[in-house]
Amino acid sequence: MTPEEERGFDDLLLLLKETRGFDFTGYKRNTLIRRIARRLEALKLRGYGEYRDLLELEPEEFGRLFDSLLINVTGFFRDAVAWQRLRETVIPALLGQKASGRPIRVWSAGCATGEEAYTIAMVLAEELGIDAFRDRVKIYGTDLDEKALQIARTGVYTDRALADVPIDLRETYFEPVESGYTFRRDLRRQLIFGRNDLTQDAPISRVDLLLARNTLMYFNTEMQVNIVRRFHFALSDPGFLFLGKAEMLLNHGDKFEPVDLRMRLFRKIKPADHADRASWTAMNTTPDPASRLPTLAAVALASGPVAQIVVDLAGNLALANSKAEALFSLSPRDLGRPFQDLVVSYRPVELRSVIERARRDLRPIELREVAWHRAGLPEGSIFDVSVVPLLSTGNLVGIGIHFFDVTRYRKLRDELQQANRQLEQAYEELQSLNEELETTNEELQSTNEELETTNEELQSTNEELETMNEELQSTNDELQHINDALTARTIELDEVNRFVSSVVRSLGDAVVVLDEGLRVVVWSQGAEELWGVRADEAVGDSIAALDIGLPLDSLIPRLRTALDDNGARTPTDAESIVLDAVNRRGRPTPLSVQLSHLRTENDDVHGLIMVMNVTDTD
C-alpha cells in the first residue's frame, strides 16, 4: 500500500471507532484490508476515501461492512478429535477439582452463532447428568457481532448445521421446530449470551473453562498478549484454556502450561506469591555510649586486623596500631616523631609525596600490589596501601594510612594463573576442535534464531491461512445459497421451456420466431422436419440466409411489411399467406403461412411468429 492508501485506511478505521464504537486497530491489518477490499470491489469503488464518503451518506452500509469484517465461521464439535481429547483429559480434571455441588463456570469467547457454547453444554451434560448440569453449570457465550448473538440466543439450527452432531446427542438435546431444531428449553436457561469486546471490555471472572477457538488469530501480536493476560485473570486456579488449531501460546509459558499442545489444551499456571512478610525484632534500650567512646576507639584501633598509621597536620606520627607497630618495627616512643624520619615513610613504598598529594587534593589515593621483601616477613609479601585524608566537620585533621596484606590473594591469583597456563597447555591439542565447535555452535545458534523467526512467521502465516480458510468457508456458504437459488430457477426455467415447447408444437406443423432483424430466434422441431435444417444451424441466422425451399423473394417483403406496421394491424387467418414451397425431399409443398406479432409487456412489436402448415400432402 502507498502512504496515501495507508492514511486512507487508518482514517476509515478511525471513522468506525468514532461513529460506531468498533475499534479494529488491534486486528490483523492484512485481514482487514482483504475484507474491506471485497466491499470496495462489490461497490465498484476505487479507494478508501470514496468508501468513507459512502458510509457517511448511507449508514446501512455499516451493517454490511461489519458482516464482512466479523467472520462468523463455527460449528458443532468443530475439530472432533480435539473435543474428544477435551472430554477425556480436561473435563475429568475439571470435575475432580470441584467439590460436589460447587458451581462450574464456562466462558465461550468469540462464540459467533453459539454452536461452540451449545457443544460444551452437551459435553458437560453428558458427564454430569441432566439434573446436575441444571444445578451447577453456567455457560457464558460472548461475541462482538450482535446479529450472531441473536441467532445464538434463539438456538434454532438447520439440519445442515447439525450434521456433525451425533444422532444420539441430537435426539437428546434438540427439539424439532418449524424452521429446524432448537436446543432444549429446560437446559437453555444455563446459557447466557452477551456482547463483549475482548480488546477493551472486562473479562468474565472465576471461570473454570475458557473456550476461545480461532479467536486470537484475528488479532495482532500486541493485542494477543493483552487478551491472553485477560484470559489468565479470568480463569480460576486451576483453570483450563481451549484454543483453535491455528493458535498457540509460544510466548506465554509463565501463564499457561500445555495439557495437550497438539490439541491446543492448556492449564493456567498459578502466579508466584511475591508478598514480602515483614519480620520484627525487639530493640533493647542501651545506655549512652558517648562516655565509652574514647576507650572503644583506642581498643578498636589497637586490635584492628589491618596495619594503620595516622599522621597529624604537622607531619608527625600520631597513631599506630599493634599491627603497624609489629609490621614496621615501631614503638610508643616513635609517636610524635616526624613521619619522614621513619623507615615506613619510604619503605615498602614512597609515601611522603603521596601524603602531600592527598593533603592537597583531599581525596583518597590507592596504591595497588606493593611488594616488600624484608627479614621476618614471608617471602614476597604484597600490600595494598590506602592513603586517606581524615576530615572533621569539613576540616583536615590528619592523614590515615592503611596497609592491607593481599599476599594470600596474590598467591592465589598466581596459582590460578599457573593453573590457567597448565590448562592452556592441556587444551592446546583441543584448541582446533574447540574453535570448530565454537563455529558450529555459532552456526547452530544462528540457525536456531532463524528457526525461531521462521516458526513465528509460520505461526503468523498459519493464523492468516486459517483466517482465509474461514473467509472461504463463509464465501462457500454464500455460494451454496446462491447455487440453491440457481437450482430452483433452473427447475422453473425447465418447466417454462417445456411449456413453451408444448405451445410451439401445438401451433402448427412448423413454427419459426423471428426478431426485428428477421433473424431466427426459435426453430421448432416441425421446421426441422419440413426443411431439413437443425435448430442449432438456423437459430441466430437471418431467414434470408437459410437454404430452404421457401420462396423467400416474395415472403421477405411481406415479413418486413408486417414488422413496419408496428402493430397497427394484426394478420388474421383470412389474411394467411399461401406459398408454393419445396420441402426437404425436393417435393412441391403448398404452405399456409400465418404471421403474428411478437410483443413486449408494453405491447411493442419486437418480432414475428411465423406458423407454417402444409395444405396439400400430395
pLDDT digits (tens, 9 = 90+) for 398-420: 898 988 888 888 888 888 888 88
- Mean pLDDT, all residues of the chain: 83
The pLDDT value given to residue 501: 74
DSSP 542: B
The answer to whether the beta carbons of residues 289 and 296 sit under 8 Å apart is yes
The pLDDT value given to residue 352: 87
Greater confidence (506 vs 613) lies with 613
pLDDT digits (tens, 9 = 90+) for 4-42: 888 888 888 888 888 877 788 888 888 888 888 888 888
Q: Which residue has the cell 421448432?
A: 524
Per DSSP, the three-state class of 374 is coil
The pLDDT value given to residue 566: 59
> Does residue 337 carry a pLDDT above 80?
yes
What is the Cα–Cα distance from 362 to 521, expressed in whole angstroms?
Answer: 117
> Does residue 291 carry a pLDDT above 60?
no
Residues 6+ away with beta carbon under 8 Å from 116 = 74, 78, 108, 141, 211, 213
pLDDT digits (tens, 9 = 90+) for 39-60: 888 888 888 888 888 888 888 8
The pLDDT value given to residue 117: 95
Residues 6+ away with beta carbon under 8 Å from 205 = 233, 234
> Does residue 113 carry a pLDDT above 80?
yes
End-to-end CA distance of the chain: 80
Could you give all domains of the chain from N- to C-terminal order, each with its CATH number?
Answer: 3-69 (1.10.155.10), 80-268 (3.40.50.150), 306-408 (3.30.450.20), 508-614 (3.30.450.20)
Instruction: Give 300: exposed, middle or buried? Use CB within 10 Å, 0-12, 13-18, 19+.
Output: exposed
* Cis ω before 238 (30° cut-off from 0): yes
In the chain, the amino acid numbered 387 is: V
The pLDDT value given to residue 561: 84
Instruction: Give 527: exposed, middle or buried? Use CB within 10 Å, 0-12, 13-18, 19+.
Output: buried
> Does residue 80 carry a pLDDT above 80?
yes
What is the Cα–Cα distance from 33 to 485, expressed in whole angstroms?
Answer: 30
Position 281 confidence tier, pLDDT thresholds 50, 70, 90: very low
CB atoms near residue 185 (< 10 Å): 9
Closest CA to 95 of 107, 104, 85, 86: 104
Percentage with pLDDT > 70 across the chain: 90
What is the Cα–Cα distance from 572 to 195, expressed in whole angstroms?
Answer: 72
Closest CA to 9 of 47, 39, 66, 46: 47
C-alpha 408, offset from chain centre: 62
What does pTM read for this prediction?
0.52
Name the β-bridge partners of 578: 592
The pLDDT value given to residue 134: 92
User: H or E segment at 603?
Assistant: none
Give the best-scoring range by mean pLDDT among 148-157, 316-325, 389-398. Answer: 148-157
Ranking 134-148, 233-247, 584-598 by mean pLDDT, the lowest is 584-598
> DSSP assignment of 211-265, as one string?
EETTTGGGB-HHHHHHHHHHHHHHEEEEEEEEE-TT---TT-TTTEEEEETTTTE
Ranking 369-373, 485-489, 529-533 by mean pLDDT, the lowest is 369-373
User: H or E segment at 95?
Assistant: helix 91-96
Summarize the confidence of residues 120-135 as an average pLDDT: 93
Ranking 108-117, 294-303, 485-494 by mean pLDDT, the lowest is 294-303
From residue 511, alpha-carbon distances to 573, 591, 605, 607 in Å are: 15, 12, 18, 13
What is the Cα–Cα distance from 250 to 252, expressed in whole angstroms?
Answer: 6
% helix / strand / coil in the chain, to the nearest 5? 50, 20, 30
> Does residue 572 carry a pLDDT above 60?
no
pLDDT digits (tens, 9 = 90+) for 418-429: 888 888 888 777
C-alpha 44, offset from chain centre: 30
> Does residue 273 carry a pLDDT above 60?
no
Name the β-bridge partners of 387: 365, 401
The answer to whether the beta carbons of residues 463 and 71 sit under 8 Å apart is no
Greater confidence (63 vs 439) lies with 63
The answer to whether the beta carbons of residues 489 and 243 sit under 8 Å apart is no
